[in-house]
Chain A
């Protein structure tokens, strides 16, 4: 039965004239204490975003103390020479501010967001935290216990569990990247305030740190403000740390992490590839978007919109760590959940999508839509101060020039179908993918073995 519409139809409208927009260029400077500062005025953004990067990478954690960078990051907001832990949290919230801190492979990041009217006070608190953290025994002990309590929650989460297993599979046991970023039960147990302070003294100093300040800075004397706050932080000078090379074993294979009774299988299929320093990056971004960037990309067109096996599967490239000499790497992966009975058929279809892509390549129409989306969404994506600050901080962390993002948009627009095809086919070769499946082994093991996508091993439930 069809239904007649009673409205008047009009032809699809044409685009209007595009209004100019460019990724904002920050102003770069250095304070007397050696702190690098990037600032960027964004009219109308009343909530200011401040990102601070510390060159305290995970591979600098002492042997057996994985997680000390994480505990240090968290301990920054647990008291200073002026405030106890409770007072510090109260003072921050009195500013209407949020302060998050986390440790990742390239270093520790602190992210402050605060209404511009209370920026001076919040920046003062952030500076206190960096300059004179209390690292009190009892607070660190609490953070350690808290971290230990979190681990079972992460293990029970299929997405987190899959990520942990993939890192373990891909990287050699000697590499920090093979182990959980926030440490394991065994390593976290051994962390105390002395260990946190030692890590801080060794790796945290203004000379190797960068602050990024973005927002509506009308009427704010940024120089004076920074001088009074982050400018009061002192520390020795230091040589830049060499970045260890990233190696990974991407021999095609399948690891099933058993989760008896699971109604879905979490998929994480990955390997390691080029980061932003590589000339292939724009083409890789474009090709990866065509493969699995959105609901209308190749993977979801089949797995979701044709078969209904999933709520959504995505392909992405995420920088792990970069080096000035270009020897860094990114994780290239496909991730999503499919219902348990359709795990075998879904993987079969996924591999067919990859094989077809390699055999036939992308179409010009796919490439065009991808470019229009990736470049076109930039003004939307960077509407808030926090989004701009985060990308500027990523660039610094990855040793890229301040105009990298602006340049990337031009490169994306200039990338052709052939280049994008080559990049994505190289990024996701069917025989060089490590597949982690968190699901009910009793139900999925046999169908997955039958696919012939690599040797299958099973990790029993913990």
Chain B
């Protein structure tokens, strides 16, 4: 068990440090000490997400994530939840395109329990997995889909736009929630095969952050995880690379029972982990992040044609990221009016670039978001895993904010010129219909911006 980096803070890391280690079975471990509050966060990222799913089995990674809470070798039934909550901890798991994560935040003196539980399911889930859990969680996940997507206005916008933005057959063409038909089709054997293929110590990163003794923590990790055999044989995910731009404007008009017209769009943007992705993040913030952004000022304040207007960035490492536009119209305003104004603002921005004040504001906003994310042990643990799994280096998490602050106005303008163009977007237009007038199609409606996670438990 070779020790990794020593804990010396790098410039721009805000004094935070992390050490890296690797067990003989391939499990990568990242530790970060912080003794301000007696809490410790455990985060485990498995390098598997919906992009690894195959045709006819969409939603399997997420359904499987639910099964990870249904007991394992030494843990009965809902024991994972019961034991963590009974120890004063909180826990959850989420599935996105690129990874599945499981996390617990514990009072510091209960850290060992969380490690024991995570090791138990990593090493022995299949001892407990049975048909009863499978059938029950299939129903729960279908109800999750109904609650979060099918039964809310614009609820399936994310799914529709993703399907437009990534071509048929592309690993990101479908979203993590999957289709009802595929959820119905998944078998217990599919779940078992999924576990055997992807749930191995050498396909995971474990981070522990907070009021911990690193040596003791590492000893516990070796004790509980050390004997779980690693195995290879995980197929490489299908290639997600695509040309830099779409090359045409893709478009779908949805006639549904929604409360107002809407214009949504997804722009193809640089992959996460690149300087260009940070530049794109700043461009979208200047254009549509918050109430001093160009689109908000234009559409909501001046033209008064929209009730809400904003841009978000869905960062992806294994495929182009998506710049997510969401505008809900005001009153009887028609979509072409909005679209013309958006195009005008984007063209102006590409021609002029951001002003110095706009750069300052956008960087200040993104800096605060980073401070928020790194301000809790759970947030820090998640970011350390993210950079370790997606980019091979957890230390990058601690300096991420510095990189955003180094981006120049010229780089922001360059990415806007290259990418924020009408021929590089998929557009979704919503036209409302009344309940009685519509055809037999379900009244599907929406959650707002890009939802990339399927929460294990709903927040209330």
Contact = CB atoms under 8 A, between A and B. Distances in A.
Interface string A294-321: 1110000100111111111010100000
B331 A149 contact: yes
B376 A9 contact: no
A118 B258 contact: no
B284 to A, nearest CB: 14
A287 to B, nearest CB: 16
B147 A264 contact: yes
Interface stretch (B4-12, B51-59, B222-230, B410-418): B222-230
A421 B266 CA distance: 52
B90 A316 contact: no
B105 A380 contact: yes
A350 B107 CA distance: 33
Contacts of A194: none
B38 A19 contact: yes
A373 B151 contact: no
A322 interface: no
Interface in A203-258: none
B449 interface: no
A259 B227 CA distance: 55
A332 interface: no
A379 interface: yes
Contact of B81 (A94, A296, A376): A296
A401 interface: no
A190 B123 CA distance: 64
B330 A146 contact: yes
A389 to B, nearest CB: 14
Contacts of B339: none
Given A372-B86, A375-B88, A306 B73 contact: no
A350 B306 CA distance: 42
B250 interface: no
Nearest to A312: B458
A153 to B, nearest CB: 5
Given A10-B224, A118-B364, A18 B78 contact: no
Interface string B55-95: 00000000000000000011000100111011111100000
Contact of A12 (B74, B78, B124): B74
Interface in A152-171: 152-153, 155-158
B133 to A, nearest CB: 9
Given A96-B368, A152-B259, A369-B85, A338 B143 contact: yes
B113 A15 contact: yes
A246 to B, nearest CB: 23
A305 B78 contact: yes
B144 interface: yes
A261 B435 contact: yes
Interface string A334-362: 01011100000000000000000000000
Interface stretch (A40-48, A178-186, A275-283): A40-48
A113 B371 CA distance: 11
A153 B376 contact: no
A450 interface: no
A373 B85 contact: yes
Contact of A7 (B228, B257, B290): B228
A5 interface: yes
B346 to A, nearest CB: 19
A261 B127 CA distance: 42
Interface string B432-451: 00010000001101000000
A364 interface: no
B307 interface: yes
Given A15-B109, A296-B82, A373-B88, A153 B328 contact: yes
A16 B37 contact: no
A89 B291 contact: yes
The residue in A113, A296, A309 that gathers the most chain B C-beta atoms within 10 A of its C-beta is A296
B113 A13 contact: yes
B301 interface: yes
Contacts of B220: 13
A305 B146 CA distance: 17
A145 interface: yes
B107 A380 contact: yes
Interface string B349-376: 0000000010011001101100110011
A156 B153 contact: yes
Interface stretch (B134-142, B159-167, B391-399, B420-428): B134-142
* 5 interchain residue pairs of minimum CB distance: A376-B88, A308-B139, A7-B123, A96-B364, A5-B124
17 contacts: A5-B73, A16-B111, A19-B108, A21-B107, A89-B291, A96-B364, A146-B330, A153-B307, A157-B153, A263-B442, A296-B78, A305-B136, A308-B139, A309-B139, A312-B458, A369-B86, A376-B87
Interface of B: 14, 34, 36-39, 73-74, 78, 81-83, 85-90, 105-113, 116, 119-120, 123-124, 126-127, 135-140, 142-144, 146-148, 150-153, 192, 211, 220, 223-224, 227-229, 257-260, 290-292, 297, 300-301, 304, 307, 328, 330-331, 357, 360-361, 364-365, 367-368, 371-372, 375-377, 435, 442-443, 445, 457-458, 460
Given A85-B301, A308-B135, 7 more contacts: A3-B126, A5-B123, A94-B360, A149-B330, A380-B39, A380-B107, A383-B39
